[in-house]
Homo-oligomer: A and B are copies of this chain.
Amino acid sequence: MDIAARISSGQGDFLLFAVTPPRKSTPAERLPEIARATVERLDHLDLDGLVLYDIDDESSRNPEERPFPFSPTVDPAEYRADHLRQWRTPVIVYRAVGKYQGEHLRSWIADQDPGRTLSVLVGAASSEASPAVSLAEAQAMSAELNPDLLLGGVAIPERHSRRENEHLRLIAKQEAGCRFFVTQVVYDLNAAKNLVSDYRYECASRGLAPVPIVFTFSVCGSLKTLEFLRWLGVDVPRWIENDLRHATNPLAASLEQAAATAVELIDFCRRLDVPFGLNVESVSIRREEIEASVELASQLAGHLRR
């Protein structure tokens, strides 16, 4: 069963891989070969879907200096339409709704085939921003223009650790039309388990069926990547930082940890009967980190499908 059918029927057990489109500054003639390299690298994994992020300048979210300077990327919807036609399974296209004019979003939403495209709509990075289209408006557009288009929302276990209400935010998003959630990168297993558990029992008490939560994993092989993850709000544990400074093979250690965390979450979600998906994110542009991400996805595919 494909991912859209699975999500429509509240089922999980799927595997995604997430990439960021190339920078806007990339010469146009290089885009096809970059897309082809991505498809070739991922083809053998038999993924249930590809995730395309939409990178916003999140500097309004965080007053600290961004570890990597912000560099606008190709619009994920255009990149997909122009260069990823050969991708076989559905694509989950992120849309940072604050970046777009209403008409642009409206026509894109109306044009999508719900069997081939899913979308994660992301609100403005800061509540102070006043975007042309709000998240609620984008959700309403989708319900009106393309009611079968499956919309996802963002889930942040770290926020649950601090405020203990992320499960209620998920349920509110679900009531606003979200049919699945995607987390940011998970390093803190207990935080993720706490969120799943609170969400599951809150759903039960309201007579709601839980929707799939897609857990995102990545490898972290350099201090720069670590710094960037932290800037994005991920609690990357200190031992990983120490590994990066001292260990002979921190990338292997990070891969092993991500796989172990994923396996525990799989077992946990199965036990609690919460549908889940897995998403491997390639954060860095370093070749060895990309290859380690592919290896992580391969290990998780093996575990999921055995």
Which A residues fall within an 8 A CB radius of B? 164, 187-190, 193-194, 196-198, 200-201, 204, 237-239, 242-243, 245-247, 253, 256, 260, 264, 267-268, 271-272
Chain B positions within 8 Å of A267 at CB level: 256
Query: Can you list 24 A-B contacts with CB-CB less than 8 angstroms, sorted by A residue number?
Result: A187-B190, A188-B190, A189-B189, A189-B190, A190-B190, A190-B239, A193-B237, A193-B239, A194-B237, A194-B238, A194-B239, A197-B238, A197-B239, A197-B242, A197-B243, A198-B238, A200-B242, A201-B242, A204-B246, A239-B268, A247-B271, A247-B272, A253-B271, A260-B264
- Contact A190–B242 (Cβ < 8 Å): no
**How far, in angstroms, from A271 to B190 measured CA to CA in the complex?**
22
Copies of this protein in the assembly total 2
For A194, give the chain B residue with the smallest CB separation. B238
Q: Which of B164, B242, B272 contacts A198 (CB 8 A)?
A: B242
Main secondary structure of the interface of A (DSSP, over half): helix
B201 touches A246 (CB 8 A): yes
- The distance in angstroms between the C-alpha atoms of A68 and B237, with both chains bound, is 35
User: Complex: how many Å from CA A189 to CA B264?
Assistant: 12
Q: Which residues of B contact A196 (CB under 8 A)?
A: 239
Bound: A190/B253 CA distance, A: 14
- A-B contacts besides A201-B242, A201-B246, 7 pairs, CB < 8 Å: A164-B238, A189-B189, A190-B190, A194-B237, A197-B239, A197-B243, A201-B245
